[in-house]
Amino acid sequence: MEFGLADKGVVVLASSGGIGRGVATEFAREGARVMLFSRSEEKLSETADAIAEETGNRPLFTVGSITNKDDVESTINRAASEFGNLWALFNNTGGPPAGTFEQFDDEAWQSAFEVTMLGYVRAIRTALPHMKKGGGGRIVSNTSVSTKQAIDGLLLSNVFRSGLVGLGKSLAREVGPDGILVNTVGPGRIDTDRIEQLDTIWAGQKGISIEQQRSESQASIPLQRYGTPSDFGRIVTFLSSKANAYLTGQNVLIDGAMVEAY
């Protein structure tokens, strides 16, 4: 299958590690011109070098925070300028803190909103004029399986990730006539630092070892393993490609059938 991503400008947010790095790697493998973005220059440089070694295609990168409006806007505008086009945007960020309702004050709610939702909104707002000018594009936003099945102890994530599904569906209907396809993707247990952090929390709550927690988690997945960032990245790459010409407005779980809900 020809993805048609060669020389296409792509921005991948929160891409110095984990899921973002996996997505950026798969884009680079397809010949896309990739702009990385995260807060750590050292990690970004290491990631760019590693992707170049693996794919022969070295990404550019910009240092910044998804909570900083100027950082987000300048990154996307720079990508469009450097690459001569902006075809795809992968919205991604770390999850908000774990906890229950009574643990969070107004400041925690506001912070979670800015990290989990407002940064995506700003990125999309900046990207759309470039995509419209170029005659089309693809937007994929990372959420969570909690959009289908709430995860105990992750209240803030449950709330704001679900809001992103509403954003994706509404936006897909608004910009479809412009040739822009919009989808959300929800990772299950993808083997990243975030999952290691959650496994540590859950193991502590149960009074068991991290190894036992991980074993129990993998046993709950029909494929009997955690996904890899590459597993995730290949699906995002397809959704962001010209090969995907009709799938839009959808919320796709990438979870190995872990979630039982439809």
Q: Domain check: are 111 and 220 in the same one?
A: no
On whether residue 196 sits in a domain, the answer given is yes
The total domain count for the chain is 2
Instruction: Check residue 110 and give its pLDDT.
Output: 97
At residue 1 the predicted structure's pLDDT band, cuts being 50, 70 and 90, is confident
Residue 201 has pLDDT above 90, yes or no: no
CA nearest neighbour of 241 among 134, 123, 137, 92: 137
Tell me if 245 is assigned to some domain. yes
pLDDT confidence bin for 196, thresholds 50/70/90: confident
Based on the fold, state whether residues 197 and 183 are members of the same structural domain. Answer: no
Predicted local distance difference test score (pLDDT) of residue 238: 98
Structure tokens at 223: 């494929």
**C-alpha span between 115 and 105 (Å, rounded):** 16
AA identity, residue 35: M
Claim to verify: residue 97 and residue 196 sit in the same structural domain: no
pLDDT-derived band of residue 195, with 50, 70 and 90 as boundaries?
Answer: confident
**Residue 206 and residue 177 share a domain:** no
One domain for residues 132 and 205: no
Sequence-distant (6+) residues with CB within 8 A of 108 are 96, 97, 99, 156
> Which residue do the tokens 């839009």 mark?
248
- Asked if residue 2 belongs to a domain, the reply is no
Q: Which of 104, 101, 79, 81 is nearest to 27 (CA)?
A: 79
Tell me the average pLDDT across 39-58.
Answer: 98
**For residue 221, what are the domain limits?**
191-226
Residue 3 domain flag: no
Among residues 14, 33, 5, 23, the alpha carbon closest in space to that of 235 is found at 23
Coil, helix or strand for 261?
coil
Whether residue 75 is found in the same domain as residue 201: no
Is residue 262 included in any domain, yes or no?
no
Residue 205 CB neighbours (<10 A): 12
Closest CA to 48 of 57, 40, 39: 57
Tens of pLDDT, residue by residue over 61-118, are: 999 999 999 999 999 999 999 999 999 999 999 889 999 999 999 999 999 999 999 9
Instruction: Specify whether 167 is located in the same domain as 216.
Output: no
Distance, CA of 50 to CA of 25 (rounded, Å): 9
Q: Is 221 part of a structural domain of the chain?
A: yes
CA 91, CA 94: separation in Å to the nearest integer? 11
pTM of model > 0.75: yes
Whether 45 has a pLDDT exceeding 90, the answer reads yes
- Is there a domain that residue 61 lies in? yes
Q: Write the pLDDT tens digit of every residue in 19-44.
A: 999 999 999 999 999 999 999 999 99
Confidence of residue 203 (pLDDT cuts 50, 70, 90): confident
Instruction: Specify the CATH number for the domain of residue 76.
Output: 3.40.50.720
Could you give the percent of the chain with pLDDT greater than 90? 90
| 130: confidence class by pLDDT, cuts 50, 70, 90 | very high
**Do residues 96 and 135 share a domain?**
yes
Asked if residue 212 and residue 131 are part of one domain, the reply reads no
Q: What pLDDT shows up at residue 262?
A: 87
How far is residue 232's CA from residue 227's CA, in Å, rounded to a whole number?
A: 7
213 and 117 fall within a common domain: no
Residue 149 maps to a domain? yes
pLDDT digits (tens, 9 = 90+) for 204-242: 889 999 899 999 999 999 999 999 999 999 999 999 999
Pairing relation of β-strands 88-91 and 137-142? parallel
Does residue 173 sit in the same domain as residue 203?
no
Average pLDDT, the chain: 96
Whole-angstrom distance, CA of residue 233 vs CA of residue 201: 26
* 154 in the same domain as 65: yes
User: Residue 166 pLDDT more than 90?
Assistant: yes
